[in-house]
Amino acid sequence: MDKYFFVARGIKNGQEEISEQEYISLKRAKDFLFKAMSIEEHFNSVIENYIELEKDFYGCSLRNVVFCEGLNMSLSDDEQWCRSVEKIYFMNRRVINLLAVGFLYVEHLKHSIHSIYNRENRNYNLVKSLTQSEYDGEDPGYRVMCAFRNHCQHYDIPFQMLNQNFKRVEAKSGVFNKYVFSLKIRVDELRKNKKFKKETLSELNEMGNEIDLLPLIRGYLRSLWKIHEQTRKSLRADLNLCESKVSSRIDNYKGRMGFYSSTKVTRYDALGSVVESEEIFDFFSRRRNELEMKNNNFDFFRKSFISNESPRID
């Protein structure tokens, strides 16, 4: 008959026999905590990619103004065109990266939920219902970006225009030029892709032929945030239960033994040979909690914008 032990490294005779039921329960709890942490890691990648997009867009805009890169008279028209195209493709890479990691996040989330719950559980179809809700929602960002991801994968880059506009701003301290940059998509260019979703194309057409891409991207991020936040809430009760199983077992062992370097559960066969062994620790919970705190402000961020406008301009 197989035997099961809770084992601590660094302690002489530091193993304690446990039941098969507790052995299975601890392994399942650790697996659940790892998958929950992995979901947070993937969402963190989405946010980090979005920050890179915004940061590099601002960097391109800043260089354009400081170095007059759009109005450099020492460059020929061909040279200026080449530099402009280079910026357009640079920002397209950032947009494509964000769309790819957003798609990866949703697909990973579906797989993780399906591997945690069976078909009879109410959470099994959680992601499908959440993504469908966002796709059908009032904000077009999610469905437009889903169509854009397919467009990028099978047809062309997301946008072809990097626009710069400015206006004169009069203030007590003087007259200033206010520069506004935008990533523009052209509906007539999208229409050339015969496989572009017709309903989405019609929706874009109602916004005009040239459309600013950033508001749509931010709407897409808002939808991913709502999906992620609802997933957190749906997993919370089971997460708390799994955390309690792991932490109480470790704390109970630590309270009696005084010290341990790391712990694991081990299964031995009737001859005393190790059949399988798996480390049990609370790192997954600590890391997940860190990421939850880090990425817990996005709902507030969507209502904000960042500017380097001088406070003297009033």
Hey, which bits of the chain come out as E strands? 3-9, 15-18, 161-171, 174-186, 210-212, 262-268, 274-280
| Average pLDDT along the chain | 88
- For residue range 74-133, list pLDDT tens digits in order: 666 666 667 778 888 889 999 999 999 999 999 999 999 999 999 999 999 999 999 999
How would residue 296 be classed by pLDDT, with cut points 50, 70 and 90?
A: confident
pLDDT of residue 265: 92
Q: Of 85, 54, 58, which is closest to residue 157 (Cα–Cα)? A: 85
Instruction: Please identify which residue in the block is written with the tokens 């062309």.
Output: 156
Instruction: Please identify which residue in the block is written with the tokens 């949703």.
Output: 106
Q: Where are the alpha helices (DSSP H) in the chain?
A: 20-66, 77-116, 126-135, 141-154, 187-190, 198-205, 213-257, 283-294, 298-301
Cα 68 to the chain's mean position, in Å?
A: 35
CB 40 within 8 A of CB 291: yes
CB burial class (10 A; 0-12, 13-18, 19+) of residue 69?
A: middle
- Where in the chain are the domains? 3-140+219-301
pLDDT of residue 240: 96
pLDDT of residue 75: 61
Those residues with Cβ within 8 angstroms of residue 155's Cβ, 6 or more apart along the chain or in another chain = 193, 195, 196
Task: Tell me phi and psi for residue 206, to 5 degrees.
Answer: -70, -20
- For residue range 39-81, list pLDDT tens digits in order: 999 999 999 999 999 999 888 888 878 877 655 556 666 666 6
pLDDT of residue 287: 96
Distance in angstroms (rounded) separating the CA atoms of residues 39 and 111: 10
pLDDT of residue 104: 97
Distance in angstroms (rounded) separating the CA atoms of residues 63 and 69: 7
